[in-house]
């Protein structure tokens, strides 16, 4: 009888000991995650030297204006276009970059990514996919009814280019963000998302032009329909 009691007590003590070890692992074992964030161009080639920033998304971040106090860290992409963030707490993060260029056009990327413990998360994105459509209709200021057809339109980033009479034609000639209105005065221009753009309107025959309209910014994969009122040239 005494032996049976001692055996039972031994099993009880062993059970408590196992539970204690398990509890220590659950409470104290906080494991980190990792993030490999790769930026590529349209051909799939990595973009090197691009600054990528990581923000704590728990603070209710606005993607257009991330709170500097929420910044977790910044790093530049390596020769393969990869920004690597090791030892991240499991969390939801905002990943941004605004210095990537493809065909001389600057793009801004921003997206939320969840990092999980013990997982090396890998994400590869084509930078130019962060784009939207600006659908524009040009109307004459002569009567505010007549559409302006066969007119050139250039979208330019207002925070990057200070437009004036000495550089306006250079901007027109070098820009890839442009088009010509159809018979309905309509033109659609694909532009980088979350960057404000203004417009140059010009006669493709005599090169008369005007600029300085309202600026617009479009979200990724979205579109904006806007009307521009301009001189009929």
For each of the domains in the chain, give its residue range(s) and CATH number, in order of start: 33-129 (2.60.40.10), 131-230 (2.60.40.10)
Distance of alpha carbon 57 from alpha carbon 112, whole angstroms: 8
* CA nearest neighbour of 150 among 228, 214, 232: 232
Local confidence band at 21 (pLDDT 50, 70, 90 cut-offs): very low
Distance of alpha carbon 145 from alpha carbon 148, whole angstroms: 10
- Among 19-23, 81-85, 181-185, whose mean pLDDT is lowest? 19-23
Distance of alpha carbon 93 from alpha carbon 58, whole angstroms: 8
The arithmetic mean of pLDDT across residues 154-183, rounded, is 95
Tokens standing for 232? Answer: 């009929």
The arithmetic mean of pLDDT across residues 203-229, rounded, is 94
In this model, does residue 129 exceed pLDDT 60?
yes
The bridge status of strand 131-140 relative to strand 223-230 is parallel
The arithmetic mean of pLDDT across residues 107-121, rounded, is 93
The arithmetic mean of pLDDT across residues 95-114, rounded, is 92
**Pairwise pLDDT comparison (232 vs 169), residue with the higher score:** 169
* CA nearest neighbour of 107 among 98, 116, 115: 98
Q: What is the pLDDT of residues 39-94, one digit of tens each?
A: 999 999 999 999 999 999 887 666 667 888 899 999 999 999 999 999 999 999 99
Q: What pLDDT is attached to residue 60?
A: 61
CA-to-CA separations, 183 to 101, 216, 232, in angstroms, rounded: 33, 23, 14
Q: Are 66 and 100 in contact (CB under 8 A)?
A: no
Residues 6+ apart with CB under 8 A from 167: 161
Q: How many CB atoms lie within 10 A of CB 128?
A: 17
Local confidence band at 98 (pLDDT 50, 70, 90 cut-offs): confident
């Amino acid at each position: 009888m005494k032996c049976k009691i001692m055996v039972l007590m031994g099993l009880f003590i062993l059970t408590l000991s196992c539970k204690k070890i398990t509890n220590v692992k659950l409470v104290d074992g906080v494991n980190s995650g990792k993030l490999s964030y790769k930026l590529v161009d349209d051909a799939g080639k990595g973009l090197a030297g691009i600054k990528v920033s990581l923000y704590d998304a728990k603070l209710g971040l606005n993607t257009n204006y991330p709170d500097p106090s929420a910044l977790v860290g910044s790093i530049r992409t390596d020769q393969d276009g990869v920004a690597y963030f090791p030892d991240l707490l499991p969390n939801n993060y905002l990943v941004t970059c605004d210095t990537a260029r493809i065909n001389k056009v600057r793009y801004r990327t921003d997206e939320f990514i969840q990092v999980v413990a013990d997982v090396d998360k890998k994400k590869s994105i084509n930078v130019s996919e962060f784009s939207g459509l600006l659908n524009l209709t040009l109307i004459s200021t002569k009567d505010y009814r007549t559409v302006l057809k066969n007119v050139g339109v250039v979208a330019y980033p207002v925070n990057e280019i200070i437009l004036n009479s000495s550089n306006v034609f250079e901007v027109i000639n070098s820009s890839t963000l442009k088009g010509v209105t159809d018979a309905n005065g309509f033109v659609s221009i694909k532009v980088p998302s979350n960057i404000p753009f203004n417009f140059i309107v010009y006669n493709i025959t005599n090169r008369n032009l005007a600029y300085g309209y309202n600026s617009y910014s479009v979200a990724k994969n979205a579109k904006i329909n806007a009307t521009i009122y301009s001189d009929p040239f």
